[in-house]
Structure 1
Amino acid sequence: MNRRLQHLLPILDWAPRYTRGEAASDLFAAVIVTIMLVPQSLAYAMLAGLPPVVGLYASILPLVAYAIFGTSRTLAVGPVAVVSLMTAAAIAPIAAQGTAAYLAAAVTLAFLSGLILVGMAVLRLGFLANFLSHPVISGFITASGLLIAASQLKHILGITVEGDTLPHIAQGVFGQIGATNPFTALIGVTAVGFLFWVRKRLKPSLIRLGLRPRQADLLAKAGPLAAIALSILAVVGLGLDDRGVKIVGEIPAGLPPFALPGFDPALWLQLLPAAALISLVGFVESVSVAQTLAARRRQRIEANQELVGLGTANIAAAVSGGYPVTGGFARSVVNFDAGAATPLAGAITAIGILAATLFLTPLFRFLPQAVLAATIIVAVLSLVDLRAIRRTWTYSKADFAAMAATMLLVLFVGVEEGILAGVGLSLLLFLWRTSTPHMAIVGQVPGTEHFRNVDRHSVLTDPAILSLRVDESLYFANARYLEDRIYAEVAARPDLRHVILMCPAVNLIDASALESLEAIADRLHAAGVGFHLSEVKGPVMDALQRSDFFAHFRGYVFLSHFEAVRSLAMEEVAVPRHGQVEDREAALPTD
């Protein structure tokens, strides 16, 4: 019972053994992540079309919930750029930005996302994330990064632009370029340049000046806060808000507005598809980061328990006035590099964000929106991976097609359409590839018991025996292809007496493929040709034995292909003839 409770509440596993050294590491990591998360939370809320303070709300309770239920020691949960973009895309058709209905929809979206994630955990549906292939996710994140960066140009230039696709944004920017506010543009462009310099150059420069790496890292992570402070001083000192520079405005101080989201069946039904998509994308991104970081420390991530952690984090976001959250790549890497030892680092970060919400929000009143936009642009452009596009093109044209379709649809049609098309195309390509599996006629490598493709190696073959290796599981999509290939090979070999289907790569034989194997065996038997199997895996053999396949099968199942060829060549087994049924054991033991 105690072990089961630890599985449901991972905090019970590490908390009893918590040490003073771990506390010091967690505190240091929390300070760095808090410095990073405050400006990001404000910026990502603006990206989602929400008041900036909502980003702070979404960075408090979710961190505490994940610390209790999550399995990663270093994952930093909170608002992220891609989910913020998907939130804005989901709510835009339902309510206008800046209205109470828009905020209510965002809270409901977080609650729905949390329920879906917890429901997936209960049903152990973490495997559904496998349907999002890496090329699709990579293409989606790259396209989203470009789209997000483009969408922030209006804040950098101080113009009004509508639209949520790249053509609409580009048309709006070029159409309004003449209305650019020079003061806003100066602040925005300077902030972008400064933040890029801080990200790439500041830490090495500080180390060269004699600072320790940790001190240099802390100061580098404080770069966005420096940009915020300097821009606020410039606005206040020069009165730039009176010269057209848009500022964040009044941010309410105080605790988050704790309340359950409203239950509006019509709204829930409208948001349900988007919530499911946000849950799936957020889970994939979060688990990918968590597993990567855990592997570096030889730790383990429980995928289904991660569903619980992220689900409760989103529910916590909803009841505290936030919007959908997930594990962030950049923040988690910073948390890891800063030495976070346990999830308590996230809870300490939540305390820091709460302190900022209670006491520092008045200071953000004169913060230029252009600086928040610059923070977003610098953050999302780091997600753009153009090298992945080139690698995928070189390695697999089919995977590149799925990646390209995802990117183009995200940029030119919409976020949801892009990810759905990428998933759909990936599945279709999988069906297409496996419907025509690679099959090879194999022969014996001289002097060994190994068999290799006759087209690639110099091997020995017997004209009376056809050894055919199938390099794919057998299921409904390729069952007929298997039949056609075997019949064609048999028709081309008049001296053939045996066909051996070599199955080391077959992990599954479904009902359709089973019927095809029975049909192949019957037709070959009628033609006086024996049909046999070799190297059948244990689970596949178990499935065959549960059926009535061996009640009709006239061939043999061999443990090794070498034994199959040797036995049949030396006529150590009886050769079935037309109309003759052999009384013998149908199958040999398999692994």
Structure 2
Amino acid sequence: MEQCELPRRQTSLDRVKTMLPRLLPFLRWWPRVNRRTMAADVWAGLTGAVIVLPQGVAFAAIAGLPPQYGLYAAMVPVVVAALFGSSWHLISGPTTAISLVVYANVSQLAPVGSPEYIRLVLALTGLCGLVQFGLGLARLGGVVNFVSHSVVTGFTAGAAILIATSQLGHFFGITLPRGGSFLETWATFVHDFPAINGHVAFIAGATLAIALVLRRLWPRSPALLLALIGGSFICHLVDGAGHGAKLVGALPASLAPLSLPEFNLDTFRVLFPGALAVAMLGLAEAVSIARAVAVRSEQAIDNSQEFIGQGLANLAGSFFSGYASSGSFTRTGVNFDAGAKTPLAAVFSALFLAAVLLLIAPATAYLPNAAMAGVIVLVAAGLVNVKAIRHILHTDRSEAGVLAATFLATLFVALEFAIYAGVMLSLLLYLRRTSHPHFITLAPDPSTAHRALTNIRRKTLAECPQLKILRLDGSIFFGAVNHIAEELHRIVNHSPEQCHILILGSGINFIDAGGCHMLFHEAGAMKLSGREIFFCSLKREVLELLQRGGCLARIGAENVFPNKESAIAGIVSRLDPERCACCAVRVFAECAGRPGGWASMPQRPDPEAVVGQE
């Protein structure tokens, strides 16, 4: 006889092997790395480095930082996010929306571009990383779901207009007040429009045109980088510098320097609201992009692990002169299309970018601000997702309202408030929906095999003169009890002859103490008025709470049925036989056994023919 093999006791080494992939998530995909994947990742990394070079400079300008800080944000944070996130293809780094929120929060506290401004930006980045890392450790990955697609779409569309507005001065060679509101900037621009610099506008427009043509004719080309080179060449041809066109200046040919973000109580108090907004927007961007590319790669995404990866990336960035970063839709799409197989592609991208920075940094001395403005305007235009906006407007009026409110708040109110306003409005609409569950009136359909209960609004059907059948679609909790009670009173008062009420509870997912108290009161009130209320198809959790709350005793255990078939059979036997005897409707199959049933009638009446009599 064979002996049963006892399960092996888990050793300390086994526990370490189990915990390591959680602490170091890159150990999960490292076995996939081989010569073939390495070659694909190297090529994808090189492509990504070329793409991020002009973007990093442009995003830093949007954030009000020296150009090199946009490149610093695309080095160490990218590597950390790739190693500690869950997505194989997500590329992090500076983004347009994050850059604009950073600028909106810090520009009110210090002169843009000053050492104090840079210090506050790095502190903001560190706080943002702490928030994201804390949410990840708490496994609160689902919190990003409260930032709805409509909020993100409306915010990015508004941010696109703000970004383009911020570049009006550089695009047309006009001095505009920096840090002014949306309306103030446009008012000043309209007033000073006759003073535009034609040479500057020509350089910016030519750069924009080059980028558009390259994207149309050569979609896989580094269009932004080539457009910047073309803009610099055009600036030299027309002697832009001699006609008032300002140049970016040479970038320092060095890697990201170490930095020490300053944290104190005053800094925390001033920067935390903005850091929270940056953190939530960054997480929403990163997780939505990771999910989108995961659909194509057939990979499972761990939201909480992405939170940890983004949080560690921003914490590391604050110590390596990188400002707040998030997932980049453009670079992630390019990374996937370039054939990346593992997160090593992001690591190679950062390494290649560092090498490029060391080699060509002095060449930026010939880069005009007008060319940068042309590229930034094109980047901003790409933020407006016209297809998504059209879909939301045609699909759901409530979500369209959320989109519009977020969009307008982005333009005319503080940016961080725009995100909060969109989220709060989404939650309020959700609460409104859940607090207004619907009663659907049902009646048997004689044309179906088992007389299926059907919504009488969809099909004209006769109801039983004594029994009202309702289906409640929604849970019974404290926020919905008043609405449910009012709806029930309205239905009962509208049908005074139907003294029995059957509620199908299959759509009731849960009930709380407030809901139990309401049903207790309504059941007692109906008994005093000579009516009976019945329930069927209730979920087990709902039944257990009704029993614990004493509501089941008030309703009566004999008035609660497991399903609608037993409910109808039990209720029909308790109907008034005198009214049944003179009833010509006979909607239930059980009516055949009632006084004056079909057996004693010459022919069965057509229920639809007598609907008007009831």
The answer to whether the superposition gives a TM-score over 0.5 is yes
The answer as to 2:478 corresponding to 1:476 is yes
Instruction: Please name the residue that 2:121 is paired with.
Output: 106
In 2, Cα distance between equivalents of 1:309 and 1:58:
15
Instruction: Please name the residue that 1:575 is paired with.
Output: none
Aligned to 1:186, which of 188, 195, 202? Answer: 202
Instruction: Please name the residue that 1:45 is paired with.
Output: 60
Q: For 2:124, what is the secondary structure of its paired residue?
A: helix
In 2, Cα distance between equivalents of 1:514 and 1:370:
67
In the TM superposition, residue 495 of structure 1 has moved relative to its aligned partner by: 4.0
Moved more, 316-325 or 523-532: 523-532
Aligned residue identity for 2:516: L
Q: Is the 8 A contact 1:126 1:304 kept in 2?
A: yes
Q: TM-score, normalised by structure 2?
A: 0.86
CA-to-aligned-CA distance 1:246-301 (integer Å, 9 cap, x gap) = 11113222121213311232112111011111111111121111111101222100
Q: For 1:27, what is the secondary structure of its paired residue?
A: helix
Q: Is the 8 A contact 1:521 1:554 kept in 2?
A: no
Q: For 2:468, what is the secondary structure of its paired residue?
A: strand
Instruction: Please name the residue that 1:32 is paired with.
Output: 47
Q: 1:485 to 1:10 in 2, by over 3 A?
A: same
Q: 1:335 to 1:550 in 2, by over 3 A?
A: same
Q: 1:114 to 1:541 in 2, by over 3 A?
A: farther
Aligned to 1:563, which of 562, 566, 570? Answer: 566
Q: 1:96 to 1:428 in 2, by over 3 A?
A: same
In the TM superposition, residue 473 of structure 1 has moved relative to its aligned partner by: 2.3
The alignment yields a C-alpha RMSD, in angstroms, of 2.2
Instruction: Please name the residue that 1:443 is paired with.
Output: 443
In 1, Cα distance between equivalents of 2:351 and 2:560:
65
In 1, Cα distance between equivalents of 2:547 and 2:322:
55
Aligned residue identity for 1:394: H
Moved more, 186-195 or 375-384: 375-384
Instruction: Please name the residue that 1:301 is paired with.
Output: 301
In the TM superposition, residue 164 of structure 1 has moved relative to its aligned partner by: 4.6
Aligned to 1:70, which of 76, 85, 96? Answer: 85
Q: 1:542 to 1:246 in 2, by over 3 A?
A: farther
CA-to-aligned-CA distance 1:79-124 (integer Å, 9 cap, x gap) = 0000100000010111110211100111111111100001111222
Moved more, 162-171 or 312-321: 162-171
Q: Is the 8 A contact 1:232 1:364 kept in 2?
A: no
In 1, Cα distance between equivalents of 2:353 and 2:544:
56
Q: For 1:184, what is the secondary structure of its paired residue?
A: helix
In 1, Cα distance between equivalents of 2:451 and 2:563:
9
In the TM superposition, residue 552 of structure 1 has moved relative to its aligned partner by: 4.3
Moved more, 554-563 or 58-67: 554-563
Q: 1:164 to 1:421 in 2, by over 3 A?
A: farther
In 2, Cα distance between equivalents of 1:546 and 1:328:
52
Q: 1:544 to 1:286 in 2, by over 3 A?
A: farther
In 1, Cα distance between equivalents of 2:402 and 2:289:
22
- Structure 1 residues not aligned, in runs of 5+: 204-216, 573-591
Q: Is the 8 A contact 2:77 2:322 kept in 1?
A: no
In the TM superposition, residue 507 of structure 1 has moved relative to its aligned partner by: 2.3
Q: Is the 8 A contact 2:163 2:380 kept in 1?
A: yes
In 1, Cα distance between equivalents of 2:370 and 2:514:
60
Moved more, 181-190 or 2-11: 2-11
The answer as to 2:470 corresponding to 1:454 is no
Q: Is the 8 A contact 1:255 1:354 kept in 2?
A: yes
Q: 1:490 to 1:151 in 2, by over 3 A?
A: same
Q: For 2:534, what is the secondary structure of its paired residue?
A: strand
Aligned to 2:191, which of 153, 171, 175? Answer: 175
In the TM superposition, residue 190 of structure 1 has moved relative to its aligned partner by: 0.5
Instruction: Please name the residue that 1:347 is paired with.
Output: 347
Question: Where do 1:345-494 residues align within 5 Å?
Answer: 345-446=345-446, 447-448=449-450, 450-459=452-461, 461-494=463-496
Aligned to 1:22, which of 37, 56, 77? Answer: 37
In 2, Cα distance between equivalents of 1:173 and 1:104:
31
In 2, Cα distance between equivalents of 1:125 and 1:538:
29
Q: TM-score, normalised by structure 1?
A: 0.89
Instruction: Please name the residue that 2:75 is paired with.
Output: 60
Q: Is the 8 A contact 1:531 1:554 kept in 2?
A: no
Aligned residue identity for 2:563: S
Aligned residue identity for 1:78: G
Aligned residue identity for 2:95: V
Question: Where do 1:152-171 residues align within 5 Å?
Answer: 152-162=167-177, 163-171=179-187
Indicate the structure (1 or 2) with the bigger Cα radius of gyration.
2
Instruction: Please name the residue that 1:286 is paired with.
Output: 286
CA-to-aligned-CA distance 1:202-242 (integer Å, 9 cap, x gap) = 23xxxxxxxxxxxxx2xx1x222222223334445665324
Q: For 1:501, what is the secondary structure of its paired residue?
A: strand
Aligned residue identity for 2:484: L
Q: For 1:124, what is the secondary structure of its paired residue?
A: coil
Q: 1:538 to 1:191 in 2, by over 3 A?
A: farther
In 1, Cα distance between equivalents of 2:464 and 2:223:
73
In 1, Cα distance between equivalents of 2:548 and 2:298:
40
In 2, Cα distance between equivalents of 1:3 and 1:548:
48
In 1, Cα distance between equivalents of 2:540 and 2:217:
57
Aligned residue identity for 1:33: G
Aligned to 1:530, which of 529, 532, 536? Answer: 532
In the TM superposition, residue 460 of structure 1 has moved relative to its aligned partner by: 5.2
Aligned residue identity for 1:530: E
In 2, Cα distance between equivalents of 1:151 and 1:459:
63
Aligned residue identity for 2:453: F
Aligned residue identity for 2:231: S
